[in-house]
């Protein structure tokens, strides 16, 4: 369930956001929710990228990690 929040905006910032919301055919609150949702998605993607880079660097730096990942996801072959 959404939780309401209260924020203070400078008059010029509010006017700019209201103008953009009006241009998109939505209210200010809806526009602010869209902006917040977009920002949250971006933050999550950036966090995942940083974590992935950290794992990649660990694998690159450590022979035991490279060994672990070398055959990761490769099904064993039957030599029968």
Tens of pLDDT along 23-78?
A: 999 999 999 999 999 999 999 999 999 999 999 898 889 988 888 877 776 667 77
The answer to whether the Cα torsion of 32, 34, 37, 39 is positive or negative is negative
Tokens for 51, please give them.
């974590």
Residue 58 falls inside a structural domain: yes
Q: Which domain holds residue 51?
A: 16-70
Provide the whole-model pTM. Answer: 0.68
Residue 54 falls inside a structural domain: yes
Q: Is 70 exposed, middle or buried (0-12, 13-18, 19+ CB in 10 A)?
A: exposed
Residue 59 falls inside a structural domain: yes
Residue 79 falls inside a structural domain: no
pLDDT on residue 64: 86
In total, how many domains does the chain have?
Answer: 1
Nearest to 66 by CA among 79, 75, 55: 55
Residue 24 falls inside a structural domain: yes
Cβ-contact 24, 31 below 8 angstroms: yes
Read off the pLDDT of residues 9-21 as tens digits, 9 standing for 90 and up.
999 999 999 999 9
Residue 65 falls inside a structural domain: yes
């Amino acid at each position: 369930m959404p939780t309401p929040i209260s924020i203070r905006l400078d008059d010029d910032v509010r006017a700019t956001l209201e103008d953009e919301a009006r241009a998109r055919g939505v209210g200010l609150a809806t526009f602010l929710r869209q902006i917040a949702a977009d920002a949250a998605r971006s933050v999550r993607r950036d966090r995942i990228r940083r974590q992935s880079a950290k794992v990649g660097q660990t694998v690159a730096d450590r022979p035991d990690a490279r060994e672990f990942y070398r055959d990761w996801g490769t099904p064993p072959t039957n030599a029968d």
